[in-house]
Chains A and B, each alone.
Chain A
């Protein structure tokens, strides 16, 4: 692996666990400081046993905290950690303790992980407990409350935890906000880019295709031989499929299917349309997962058929049948309404676009009267992806 990749991984791991990294660094330093004071400082008892306990607890506690970082009962571990540190202070028998820094490190995780009010309360409680420990240790001279310097030292010892917790909690909240703002601005940038592409597709490319389609369709009755006619029909149908493709892409850019299965989306759409109260829509069966383009077109054909049925069919029930058979997949939307209008202008843009979509994905689309000549049935036969076709 290239060096820069390792660096990047380390960096991102550090960023993800930044507060734990802060805790580990300060706790190791705090433990070393405590041990050094304990062993060499003239004022303290020289207590090698307590030094050894401190070092092992520092290592053990870091491991414990690391592995319980994400569990829901982590605050209990943090509280335990805090009391253990106060225990060390108590064992050192002096509230101006070599373990003061060590004890402060127990505030890092609660301050940065809990809601800020709880965090500040945590810091205050720590100060209260520290005050109690100070009262319990033997070396609290009786003149503490009258001696200015001693009083000031005690006050500082009690005040610092609150300041540290508040600061950390504030930074943590700020970082969280920054992260949300960044995610939001990335989402907005992506969305505006999608809209720009959709606009270009619709505004420019699709207009050109419409123009080409119009010009070619004008050739239709200019006395072409059968072969020319066939070629022309082919070109026109390709162009119609292209506009249908573009519409799907534009729709996909605006409201993407996001890789969700077609049957699930259809059930959702059916539920939405049922809410309008025009007709009852039953969806039965399942479809396998389809390739994205096929899924998008199949869904939009079915959605258009549903909309048409609700809008024009004056029906009371619509059934959507999804089936997956070895010879191909089948998607049928049938209603019990008034059927399709007949005549030369039957089938406007919507139906043309449905046929165009079907052509694009190599599916067969049959739109006609339903079973028994009642209502309308829209049947889409899809070949299996990578099948015999």
Chain B
């Protein structure tokens, strides 16, 4: 049983997702949220297992929201859902702690599979192309490279902090900085 929260700013997408996911056994869409503010309230009320999060919310930043969701206790699984989910978005999504990244053009069965995998605690991320990882490595601070490597390998934040002998809060702050540097600008939207 997957208790799901849907976050998307577009009414058609919210309605479509709710209808489709309600019909799928084992997945229960608890509520929908259309904005950052909405999300805050709904999250406290529903305590979902998985959040299906639109990457592009007006006036909000999908990656930052994802970071905040993953910091809440208990942290829900987060599947980033975007009309632009190509491989260049993978590294920032990983750093933001997303458990999955899926394109909005994926057919429904793919969405079900992804949601199930995320709720099991698996990661649903496309492989990170070698040269994109290299490019990311060049853009972040050299002292942050171990964090980048461990995040890509799926090491939990707490273990990274332990390995680096730093407080979780510091590692978390460094992550924010890296996300800021690696942000994928979607041209002119």
B24/A198 in contact, CB under 8 A: no
Q: Does B106 contact A (CB under 8 A)?
A: yes
A212 to B13, CA, bound (A): 8
Whole-angstrom distance between the Cβ of A136 and the nearest chain B Cβ = 68
Closest residue on chain A to residue B104 by CB atoms: A210
Give chain A residues whose Cβ lies under 8 Å from the Cβ of B108.
214-215, 217-218, 220
Interface residues of B in 93-145 (CB under 8 A from A): 103-109, 111, 126-127, 129-132
Q: Does A199 contact B (CB under 8 A)?
A: yes
A213 to B20, CA, bound (A): 11
Give chain B residues whose Cβ lies under 8 Å from the Cβ of A349.
85-86, 103, 105-106
Whole-angstrom distance between the Cβ of A306 and the nearest chain B Cβ = 14
A206 to B16, CA, bound (A): 13
Closest residue on chain B to residue A250 by CB atoms: B189
Give chain A residues whose Cβ lies under 8 Å from the Cβ of B85.
349
Q: Does A45 contact B (CB under 8 A)?
A: no
Q: Does B17 contact A (CB under 8 A)?
A: yes
A195/B83 in contact, CB under 8 A: no
B107/A217 in contact, CB under 8 A: yes
A212/B189 in contact, CB under 8 A: no
Give chain A residues whose Cβ lies under 8 Å from the Cβ of B13.
207-208, 210-211
Q: Does B187 contact A (CB under 8 A)?
A: yes
Give chain B residues whose Cβ lies under 8 Å from the Cβ of A314.
130
A360 to B101, CA, bound (A): 27
Give chain A residues whose Cβ lies under 8 Å from the Cβ of B105.
210, 213, 240, 243, 349, 352-353
Q: Does A236 contact B (CB under 8 A)?
A: yes
A207: contacting residue among B10, B86, B87, B188, CB under 8 A: B10
Give chain B residues whose Cβ lies under 8 Å from the Cβ of A198.
188-189
Give chain B residues whose Cβ lies under 8 Å from the Cβ of A312.
87, 129
A212/B16 in contact, CB under 8 A: yes
B187/A254 in contact, CB under 8 A: yes
Whole-angstrom distance between the Cβ of B134 and the nearest chain A Cβ = 10
Interface string of A185-206 (1 = CB under 8 A from B): 0000000000100110011101
B107/A207 in contact, CB under 8 A: no
A283 to B101, CA, bound (A): 35
Give chain B residues whose Cβ lies under 8 Å from the Cβ of A208.
10, 12-13
A236 to B109, CA, bound (A): 13
A207/B12 in contact, CB under 8 A: yes
B132: contacting residue among A214, A221, A311, CB under 8 A: A311
A352 to B83, CA, bound (A): 13
B107/A220 in contact, CB under 8 A: yes
B109/A214 in contact, CB under 8 A: no
Q: Does A278 contact B (CB under 8 A)?
A: yes
Closest residue on chain B to residue A356 by CB atoms: B105
A213 to B15, CA, bound (A): 13
With A207-B12, A349-B86, A353-B105 given, is the CB distance from A215 to B19 under 8 Å? yes
Give chain A residues whose Cβ lies under 8 Å from the Cβ of B107.
213-214, 217, 220, 236
Kindly name the residue among A212, A218, A240 whose own CB sees the greatest number of chain B CB atoms within 10 A.
A218
Whole-angstrom distance between the Cβ of A239 and the nearest chain B Cβ = 9
Q: Does B23 contact A (CB under 8 A)?
A: yes
Whole-angstrom distance between the Cβ of B110 and the nearest chain A Cβ = 8
Give chain A residues whose Cβ lies under 8 Å from the Cβ of B130.
314
Closest residue on chain B to residue A255 by CB atoms: B187
Give chain B residues whose Cβ lies under 8 Å from the Cβ of A350.
86
A311 to B91, CA, bound (A): 14
A254/B17 in contact, CB under 8 A: no
Closest residue on chain A to residue B24 by CB atoms: A218
Kindly name the residue among B23, B105, B106, B126 whose own CB sees the greatest number of chain A CB atoms within 10 A.
B105
Closest residue on chain A to residue B19 by CB atoms: A215
A329 to B148, CA, bound (A): 46
Whole-angstrom distance between the Cβ of A381 and the nearest chain B Cβ = 24
A221 to B111, CA, bound (A): 14
B126/A204 in contact, CB under 8 A: no
A202 to B58, CA, bound (A): 13
Q: Does A223 contact B (CB under 8 A)?
A: no
Give chain A residues whose Cβ lies under 8 Å from the Cβ of B19.
215
B16/A211 in contact, CB under 8 A: yes
B103/A214 in contact, CB under 8 A: no
A202/B86 in contact, CB under 8 A: no
A65 to B188, CA, bound (A): 50
Give chain B residues whose Cβ lies under 8 Å from the Cβ of A212.
12, 16
Interface residues of B in 1-38 (CB under 8 A from A): 8, 10, 12-13, 15-17, 19-20, 23-24
B20/A214 in contact, CB under 8 A: yes
A341 to B104, CA, bound (A): 22
Give chain B residues whose Cβ lies under 8 Å from the Cβ of A213.
105, 107
A198 to B189, CA, bound (A): 8
A217 to B103, CA, bound (A): 14
Whole-angstrom distance between the Cβ of B69 and the nearest chain A Cβ = 22
A214/B189 in contact, CB under 8 A: no
A311/B129 in contact, CB under 8 A: yes
A278 to B135, CA, bound (A): 12
Q: Can you list 20 pairs linking A and B with CB atoms under 8 Å apart? A: A198-B189, A207-B13, A207-B83, A208-B13, A210-B83, A211-B12, A211-B17, A213-B105, A214-B20, A214-B111, A215-B108, A218-B20, A218-B108, A236-B107, A278-B131, A311-B129, A348-B103, A348-B126, A349-B86, A352-B105
Closest 5 CB pairs of A and B: A211-B16, A217-B107, A218-B108, A349-B103, A207-B10
